[in-house]
Structure formats: structure tokens, C-alpha cells
Amino acid sequence: MSKRLVILGAGESGVGTAILGVQKGYDVFVSDGGPVKEKYQEELNKHGIVWEANQHTEEKILNADEVMKSPGIPEKNELVKKIRKKGIPVISEIEFAYRYKGNSKIIGITGSNGKTTTTSLMYHICKTGGLDCALVGNIGYSFAKQIAEDPKEWYVAEISSFQLDDIHTFRPDVAILTNISEDHLDRYDYRFENYIHSKFRITENQTEQDYFIYCADDPVTMQYLEKYSIKSNPLPFSMSKELPQGGFIRNGQMTVAVDDERMQMNVNDFTLKGKHNQNNTMAASLGGVTVGIRKEKIRVAVQTFESLAHRMEPVSTIRGVEFINDSKSTNVNSTWFALESMDRPTILILGGVDKGNDYSILTDLVREKVKAIVCLGTDNRKIHEAFKSDVQLMVNTSSADEAVKAAFHFASPGDTVLLSPACASFDLFKNYEDRGDQFKKAVREL
């Protein structure tokens, strides 16, 4: 009898797992409680996979030998509770894919902020260095599907805490933890410690042959580091102190040291600007050295990397007012980094679905740099309460078009309008990409 694999969720990770599962001889059933996108319907049908949409048929699910749960489905979901109660093993897509990776190697990147930028730069370094590699995971392409359809020698994987929650054997050869700040607390019983534990799981199966790259300036990482028995080789990076092994920046010069290898580079040569991006660049450069990419190639990659859509993306300058799209900032810490890099008076567009945000960490930067706040969301009370004594101009809007017009109205030549919402987008938009795209469209129509 084939092992029965039930997959909850027919998105990128669910469909990818289904394709690999069928290829490896599993009896696969895919169930999605909502509608399934047409492209995923076509893929499931092409591979002869049985699936359902807009419902979960319990008798077809609770007879599973194993369940792959898509990252968007929380533990408190009633069906998940029933699966757990029956003792059916629950895994994530990266765990399933890991079983079939063969001799290939994995660079896994997680963190509250900067992980998409670091992952994309890491992939660019690997490609520039001539590695046979693929970019997978939370960044948009299924790890399982990549293994099924086009296996590579190296995988550069962006990994969320939700994906780490259901690993058992998954082990990256190189693990990068960019930082840890409060995020997704609604999924972790509003206990920061639960979320921190999830992030550190990236190291739990690593061995003495592996590397763990982390930020020595991140207080949460450093506070919890000692609480885990990490076997891999530590490679910290810092902007505040020189390190014998790892990375640091001194007087505008980045130094990266791994074993006997050392490379140096001037930060003015980085295409990614801002202090937070210097950390991301150090992390990715360290990753490049650990996998044996030549220093010259890393240098070229760092100098030629193009920044990502929706992450501090310059949109346009209109009548002397600069517009920046940072829609991917879906938590307060991410918005802090964005504001910190502003060097002109800023009109800040904030708001959306609040994930248990504490806005107080933004207070000093808002006082120093922000001349007006434009709220973009259905419920903006918390933002008004947080900043009412710090900013004189604050207005509510309910569309990207309204927000852009209000921000432009408040702005003078030489100012910057920054969309950096610190919140999820699901109250008014499909996702952060949709929010960013609507923002860009509204700017271009001014």
C-alpha cells in the first residue's frame, strides 16, 4: 500500500509537495478550505492529483499517514487540532523536500527582517560564483517542486518561522539568522519566546560540518544563543565590534573572515544602501565564503545586485518629492530600519492589519524624521494613539490612491513619501505586493 500523504492548502508549497509526493509514489490528496488558483488547478490535474477546494472532507483527511500543512494554516485551526489528536505526523514542505534532496546542499535563511533581501543577494552571489543553484522557499518557488522538476546541487531557501515549526530532520549546511524582533505573535499565543524558539530551530539538526551565521548586534539573538546547544560553526557579524571569525564593518570597510579566508570591501561599493543592508550584505558575503565562492566573485555580486520590488524601492520623484515603496515592511521593526535610513523630511504611510504591534520603538525616529503620518487601513486607532503627541499632521485614508494624494499634499520639494506600513495588508489589499503595486500606480498617476 502506498503511504497516504494529505496536503492542506493548494498554494505554491502545497502543490509543489503534491507533485513531488506523486513522483515518489505516495497516495496524495490535496484539500483547500478556500478557492484554488487556476494555475494550481491545472498543475494538479496535469499530474493526476486528487484535490478539493472550498472545503475539507474530514474522512479523506483523517485517514492520512502524514499531513503536510501549508505555512498559512495556524495550529489553532480545528482540523489541525483533530489531526494532532489522532497522532498523525504533521510536516512542512521544507521537511518533505529535504527527504529527497539527494547530495545537494542547502543555504537556509530566516529572520524577522532582511531575510528576503539576504536570500536574494545570497542567490545572486551563488549564481555569480558559478554554482548550480535554485532560489526556493518562502520567496515564491516551491522547494519540493524544484526537486521534482529541476533538481540542483545547491538550494538557497528563504524560510519562515511557520515552515520551521513543522521540521523534524531538515538541516541546512549553512544557516543564516538575520535578526529576531516581535512578529506574527498572533500565531504564537502572543508569547515572543515561542516565536524566538521557532527561529532558532533552523540550527537544531546542524552538525560540526555546518555553519551558523547570525547578527552579534541583535540583542534577542544574543540573549537566547546560549539557551540552545548549537553544534555548527558560529560566524557572527557586527557593526559595533571587530571579530576574529565572521564579519564586521570598521571605518566604512567590511571584513569577512571564515577559517583562513579573508576578504575586504568598501561599503560605498555595495549596491544596497542603508545600515540594515550592510548587515544583510555581510551575512550573504559570509555565506558566499563558507560555500567556497572566490572573493572576486562575491565582490562583483555585491556590486551588481539589484534591489527588490516592494523593499525600499524608489518609485519616482515628482516636483522634488521622492516616493519610496517599502510595502514589504509588514512589522514595526522593518519600518524602524526603513525610517532609520531616511535622510530627508518624511511623510510616512502606515497601517493595515495590526499583528499585536508595539509602535513605541518608532517614537524617537518619528519625532526626528516624520512631518506627517498618513494612515492606510480600516482601523487606525492604535496608530493615532501611539503618535498623537509626536506628529501634528495625521490623516486616515482607505485606498492607496487616497493615501498617495494626501501624502503629496503634505509634502514639500525635498521631502520623501515613504510607504512602510508596519502591518499586514489584508484589510484593503490581496497582499503586500498588491499594496505596493497600487501605491506605485497611484504615484505614477499624480
Annotated binding-site members for ATP: 111-117
DSSP string, 18-40: HHHHHHTT-EEEEE-SS---HHH
Residues 6 or more apart whose CB falls under 8 angstroms from that of 316 comprise 322, 323, 443, 444
- Closest by Cα among 441, 317, 321 to 372: 321
Angle at 208 between CA 203 and CA 214, to 5 degrees: 40
CA distance 35 to 10: 9
Alpha-helical regions (H) of 205-294:
219-225, 275-290
DSSP E strands: which ranges in 233-343? 233-238, 246-250, 253-258, 261-266, 313-318, 321-325
Instruction: Please check whether residue 144 is in contact with residue 95, taking contact to mean a CB–CB distance below 8 angstroms.
Output: no
Report the C-alpha dihedral over residues 396, 274, 431, 356, rounded to 10 degrees.
-60
Instruction: Please state, in angstroms and as integers, the Cα–Cα distance from residue 92 to each residue in 9, 70, 98, 281, 333, following that order.
Output: 11, 7, 10, 29, 27
- Closest by Cα among 276, 282, 211, 208 to 243: 282
Backbone phi, psi, residue 402, to 5°: -60, -45
Residues contributing to the annotated binding site: 111-117
